[in-house]
């Protein structure tokens, strides 16, 4: 068997088009332009690239993008003051503080200072609590993107065995909650899990979010399983250059899986599309209106 490829690039392009249509309706019918504020502190090169891409995509969708670039030595107090200003700014519907923050700033204090209604990352404890209790949470973008691709591929997931490898607050834990909400039987595996090959081998759905290159071996995968690879790892090549690989050993997994996301071109492009989706959701909830059907 050769797995079907789940094309995150194409999926995210369609999603972004739908979001742009929603934004047009919000403008024409409600005189609303969703606004996303992105705050970056310091010069981390990867973060600079993410933030630039978020800015471009936000504008392409017809939304307002507000960028706040602060120096590395910004104090926690000053950052909290900016967050408070954005919380109170009616033109700002979504706030994202790019992580990681410099070491002298308490990340969770900053995340939890964002108004939960504007927390388009879905990292605030209120949103993680709502997700865990079946409420109207804003869901973290990467797991939301994974869920949309899984639903598109599998439809009803009730009763399926799912394993999430990785237990971060940003991906692993919310991903497990989302799968539980779909009535999957969910296992969360991590660095201390015993007999990982056996745990992975039972799963109809595998979501790998470890951040270690090709740590999930292809021959562990159950025949016909759906594999979502969240990993983005840069590894050296023989010619001195580098290439990007996922957390799953793709060349072998593709022989066993029923469907699999490639890296790059799988989960990655979905994350920004889901950020835009969350910004539309937040805007509509703040205005007390339904999200436009497109």
C-beta of residue 205 within 8 angstroms of C-beta of residue 163: yes
Pick 1 or 49: Cβ nearer ligand GUN: 49
Dihedral angle over CA of 59, 275, 87, 44, nearest 10 = -80
Q: Does 82 bind ligand GUN (CB under 6 A)?
A: no
Q: Which is nearer to ligand GUN, 32 or 176 (CB)?
A: 176
Binding span for ligand GUN by CB under 6 A among 95-103, 131-139, 146-154, 177-185 = 95-103
Positions annotated as catalytic residues are: 54, 98, 121
Greatest C-alpha distance within the chain: 57
Q: Is 121 in the site for ligand GUN (CB under 6 A)?
A: yes
Question: Given candidates 19, 97, 131, 276, which one binds ligand GUN under the rule CB under 6 A?
Answer: 97
Q: Does 96 bind ligand GUN (CB under 6 A)?
A: yes
Query: Beta 185-189 vs 161-165: how paired, if at all?
Result: parallel
Binding segment (CB under 6 A) for ligand GUN, from list 9-17, 90-98, 154-162, 232-240 = 90-98
Q: Is the dihedral of CA 86, 88, 94, 98 positive or negative?
A: positive
Cβ-contact 64, 37 below 8 angstroms: no
Residue 58, interface with ligand GUN (CB under 6 A)?
Answer: no
| Residue 119 near ligand GUN by CB under 6 A | no
Q: Taking CB under 6 A as the criterion, which residues in 139-168 touch ligand GUN?
A: 141
**Burial of 37 by CB count in 10 Å (0-12 exposed, 13-18 middle, 19+ buried)?**
buried
Question: Residue numbers of the site for ligand GUN (CB under 6 A)?
Answer: 96-99, 121, 141
């Amino acid at each position: 068997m050769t797995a079907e490829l789940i094309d995150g690039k194409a999926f995210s392009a369609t999603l972004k088009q739908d979001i742009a249509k929603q934004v047009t309706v919000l403008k024409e019918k409600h005189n609303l332009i969703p606004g996303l504020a992105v705050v970056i502190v310091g010069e981390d090169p990867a973060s600079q690239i993410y933030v630039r891409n978020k800015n471009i995509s936000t504008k392409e969708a017809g939304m307002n993008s507000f960028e706040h670039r602060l120096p590395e030595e910004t104090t926690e107090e000053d950052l909290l003051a900016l967050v408070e200003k954005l919380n109170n700014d009616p033109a700002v519907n979504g706030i994202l503080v790019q992580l990681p923050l410099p070491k002298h700033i308490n990340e969770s204090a900053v995340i939890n200072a964002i108004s939960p209604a504007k927390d388009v990352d879905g990292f605030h404890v209120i949103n993680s609590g709502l997700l865990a209790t079946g409420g109207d949470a804003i869901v973290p973008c990467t797991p939301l993107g994974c869920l949309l691709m899984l639903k598109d591929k599998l439809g009803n997931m009730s009763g399926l065995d799912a394993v999430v490898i990785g237990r971060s607050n940003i991906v692993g834990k919310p991903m497990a909650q989302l799968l539980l909400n779909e009535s999957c039987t969910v296992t969360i595996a991590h660095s201390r899990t015993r007999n990982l090959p056996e745990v992975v081998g039972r799963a109809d759905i595998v979501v790998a979010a470890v951040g270690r290159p090709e740590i999930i071996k292809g021959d562990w995968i159950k025949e016909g399983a759906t594999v979502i690879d969240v990993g983005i790892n840069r590894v050296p090549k023989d010619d001195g250059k580098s290439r990007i690989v996922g957390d799953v050993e793709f060349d072998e997994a593709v022989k066993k899986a029923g469907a699999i996301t490639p890296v790059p071109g799988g989960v990655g492009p979905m994350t920004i599309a889901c950020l835009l989706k969350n910004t539309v959701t937040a805007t509509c909830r703040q205005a007390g209106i339904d999200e436009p059907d497109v």
